[in-house]
Structure formats: structure tokens, C-alpha cells
Amino acid sequence: MTSAKRIAVITGANKGLGFEMARQLAQAGVRVLLAARDLQKGEAAAAKLRGEKLDAESLRLDVTDESDRATAAAFLEQKFGRLDILINNAGISAETLGAGKVSTTTEDVIHRTFETNFFAPVALTQALLPLLKKSDAGRIVNMSSILGSQTLQADPKSPIYDFKALSYDASKAALNSFTIHLAYELKDTKIKVNSAHPGWVKTDLGTDAAPMEIPEGAKTGVALALLGEDGPTGGFFHLGKTLPW
């Protein structure tokens, strides 16, 4: 079965930024698949959007699980025959952001963080890339963080200079590197690949201390997912402004 609507998969979409990006994309006429590790939570989130008369369904997907990734790819191939938008949103922090010390960061914390924040999105994107290549305008959005900016982390004058957490920051820097390399590989195709910094948002990760509300934080990822043919690729953005790598 095929669909004239654009088809989007958003990982970690049962709550927070992922859920709001799914809502905003659906409001723009996109058919959204809310990917979540817990199918019950994912279906509850999708049902909420359907209650708003939006085109949404759930997709069980633990991004760190190879069999889940393969199953999701096979399902999408069979049901839609293509994928138009992939937002790699699922992520974790296994340490206190802004309070991490290299000397006390454990190997386990680094491995767990990279498994979800870097290795999983790379593997999922590779699994779904054949479907994205069948799209007339494929879009890949890697939800990164300003904390992954090597330039700003190294600048004593930057606002994040004193806000460090090795495993999280390094995982997002690696994700940004993936964006650059994949955009280069796909530069002669219709697929655009970009990194998004949503901002400091009131989510489980951002906490209530964050200044931005979730709908505002979702805007950058949604805008990159809906880029026109003349839009950028291989960049790092926040609310339309370019961030340094």
C-alpha cells in the first residue's frame, strides 16, 4: 500500500519533544508514526493525536535493538513502500548535565549514552535509508544539542563553556559528525540531512528549570523535516539560525 501523504517516523515520540514534533508534523498534513520502546505508551500517544483528528499511528521500536530496527524497516516497506521523514529524536543522559567531570565519568555511562545517542541513530538510519531513497524529498533530522558544539565548548566566552558532561556532549558531537558525513554522501540525491538543537526545553531531560516550552522546542526539528527543495543540508540549526560545529 502507498500513500500520497508524506510519511514520517519520529523516535522517542510517546512524550516530550518527540510527541510534539509528531503533532506539528501531523498538523502540517504528514502521516506520523510515533516510534516508542513501549508499544502501549506509543499507542496511547498516537490515540491522543487521532483524538485531535490527526493522522497518527504507533510503531514499536527500541532504537538500540537490531531486530526492532529490521522489523520496523520491513513494516514500512510493506505498508508504504517508502519513508519521507526520519527524525532521530530518542536520546538519554546517563549523567547530570552540566556537572560531569571527565575524571569521574565511568566507562559504563559513556557506553550507555553512546549506544542510544549515537550508535542507534546511525544504525536505524542505515536500516531505513533504502526507503528514504524512494522518497521524492527525503529528510533526515538528527536531534542534537548545542552542548555537542565543539566550537562553543572550547570557547571561554561562550554561554555553555562551564556546562559540561562528557558522555552526553561527546555523543551529540558524534551525532553531528554523522550528519556531516551522511549529508556529504547524499549530496547528489534529494535527501537532506541536518542536525537540530531544539533549545533548553521543559522536558524530562531539560527539567522545569528550562526557559522554553515544548511547542517552541519542537519547531526546529519540524522545520528541518519540512524543508523545501532549496533548503540546506549538512547543517546545524536552531530556530533558523546556524550553530557552529
Which residues are designated catalytic?
168
Integer Cα distance of 179 and 187 in angstroms: 12
Bridge partners, 190 (sequence order): none
Inter-residue contact 47 to 37 (CB < 8 Å): no
Q: Is 17 exposed, middle or buried, given 0-12, 13-18 or 19+ CB atoms closer than 10 A?
A: buried
188's CB contacts (< 8 A; 6+ apart) are none
Inter-residue contact 18 to 90 (CB < 8 Å): yes
